[in-house]
Amino acid sequence: MPSHLNHRQTLRRQLRQARRNLSSVEQCLAAEHLLESFKQYLSNTDAPESKVIKNVALYLANDGEISPHVLCQYFWQQGINTYLPVIQKKQLAFASYSKASIWQENIYGIKEPMTKDYLAKENLDIILLPLVGFDADGGRLGMGGGFYDRTFEGKKSTERPLLIGLAHDCQQVKSLPIESWDVPLQAFITPTQVIKI
């Protein structure tokens, strides 16, 4: 295996362990502070698509990922439609998500809504992505499956939806080794900071 791919694998192991080491109290506080950071992002951004939000995709936290459940409650209170990624072949589709969702497990044991009510990715305003690691230049290290990269291959940064990574602060690194297939994000939001790219 080439050394740069080896480095990514080592980083992935270290950063996954760092987020797993957070206590349940730290995870709960992080989720609450994440909402405040998200509101700060919205109030300080010039992007017109972030001013009127109708459709947002997020994820169900897994493996120590920062949980967007407080954000999700906020979206529901605001009448914003929420969606979750569903694996379809080697890409992602986005299924409607509500309190009434019926669940199935995907090949990784992660819950997905059991529905045919999908929204085209171009009709999403914002996608909040999980990640393993990130840097201030827009680099994102995922779990290694490449689903988000394949789904948004060729997407221009000016096109909808906005891709925003959510993470714990302990997941930030100085610089990530980036591959040609890595899709850059427009921002990262943590419990304590907003990084616009």
What confidence tens digit (pLDDT) does each residue in 148-169 have?
Answer: 989 999 888 788 899 999 999 9
Cβ(171)–Cβ(14) below 8 Å: no
Mean pLDDT of 169-196: 89
Residues with Cβ within 8 Å of 86's Cβ and at least 6 positions away in sequence, in order, are 92, 93, 94, 95, 106, 112, 113, 118
pLDDT of amino acid 18: 95
Work out how many domains the chain is built from and give that number: 1
pLDDT of amino acid 46: 65
Residues with Cβ within 8 Å of 5's Cβ and at least 6 positions away in sequence, in order, are none
pLDDT of amino acid 45: 66
Percentage of the chain lying above the pLDDT 90 cut:
61
Cβ(182)–Cβ(149) below 8 Å: yes
Neighbours of 17 (CB within 10 A): 11
Instruction: Tell me the pLDDT tens digit for each residue of 103-113.
Output: 988 888 889 99
The tokens for 17 are 């362990």
* Angle made by CA atoms 64, 69, 73, in degrees to the nearest 5: 175
pTM: 0.90
Range of the domain at 39: 3-196
SS (HEC) of 68-114: CHHHHHHHHHCCCEEEEEEEECCEEEEEEECCCCCEEECCCCCEEEC
pLDDT of amino acid 51: 61
pLDDT of amino acid 25: 97
Higher pLDDT, 126 or 50: 126
Mean pLDDT computed over every residue of the chain? 89
pLDDT band for position 48 (cuts 50, 70, 90): low
Q: Residue 21 sits in a domain of what CATH number?
A: 3.40.50.10420
